[in-house]
Amino acid sequence: CSDGKWLFFFICKTGAVQNLSTEVVLGMDRPFQRIRLSDRAELKCCFENWDKGFHWVKSKKASERVEEVAMSELVTATNRMPIKENCSILTFKSVQLNDTGMYLCRLNVSFIHTHGTYMQVYVPMEKTINLSESTKNVILMTEGILLFLCVVGPSFLFLSKVRNSYDETFSDSVFFKELCGSNLDDCCTAYDHIERPQGYGHYQDVGTTVKEGEEIQLEKP
């Protein structure tokens, strides 16, 4: 008979919990927060249709059991109870590395938890070089000038080489005209009539003047 009473009590309690879970409406919690070390942090949980109280719990890992959050001067909870929705804000005045974990609201005399918020505490990276804004602007301006020179410089050098080559060709042409005059035919005729030094005759075509069997004797210049 006693076993029957305990079984009846267990069935009634299970049915009551299931009934409560269907009536309670859980709010949408912020799933993740990343807080810098020693900064202030606030976590919030909300639910409806529950008036039997609740408390904050924490789990460092998903596989670990939850433990109740200990309140102190640095960690406080503020409860807000409007007409329909109950909310609680868990405040950390200065977060520490061991505060990292999953935070949830657990409803009293039930197995119901809110969705929860995972808070990650991180250590900021220190700056290796501390530069002022004016120094950064100078560096950016210098980089822009160097980039401009890298783009325009090769084109400018190529154009300079082409222009120098053209100037040399033009100078040679002018010099030749000044030397021979404007009439190139006269220049060529004058060149053909350049006389050799005294004692020498005109140049002759060796192939036409030398007869067959004769030795060829060439003059030294």
Same domain (yes/no): 56, 115: yes
Is 209 inside any structural domain? no
> In the prediction, which pLDDT does 214 show?
58
**pLDDT bucket at 3, cuts 50 / 70 / 90:** very low
Does 40 share its domain with 117?
Answer: yes
Residues 46 and 102 in one domain: yes
Look at 154 and 173; give whichever has higher pLDDT: 154
Region 71-79 average pLDDT: 92
One domain for residues 66 and 147: no
Asked whether the predicted pLDDT for residue 12 surpasses 50, the reply is no
What is the identity of the amino acid at 13? Answer: K
Whether 48 contacts 25, CB under 8 Å: yes
CB neighbours (10 Å) of residue 69? 19
Residue 6, pLDDT above cutoff 70 = no
Mean pLDDT of 69-92: 87
Please tell me which residue, 115 or 167, carries the higher pLDDT value.
115
Q: What is the pLDDT of residues 168-203, one digit of tens each?
A: 666 656 555 555 555 555 555 544 555 544 445 555
Domain of 118, CATH number, reads 2.60.40.10
The beta strands (E) that lie in 93-216 are given as 101-107, 117-122
Domain membership flag for residue 110 = yes
Residue 118 maps to a domain: yes
DSSP letters for 47-100? EES--S-EEEEEESSTTSPPEEPPP-SSEEEEEE--SSEEEEEEEESS--GGG-
| Residue 221 within any structural domain of the chain | no
Q: Which residue has the higher pLDDT, 109 or 95?
A: 95
* Model confidence, pTM: 0.50
What percentage of the chain reaches a pLDDT higher than 70? Answer: 62
The tally of domains found in the chain comes to 2
How much is the pLDDT for 44? Answer: 94
Residue that the structure tokens 């969705």 belong to: 115
The verdict on 47 and 117 lying in the same domain is yes
- Clarify whether residues 141 and 112 are in a common domain: no
Residues 33 and 117 in one domain: yes
Structural domain boundaries, residue 187: 133-195
What's the gap between Cα 65 and its chain centre? 40
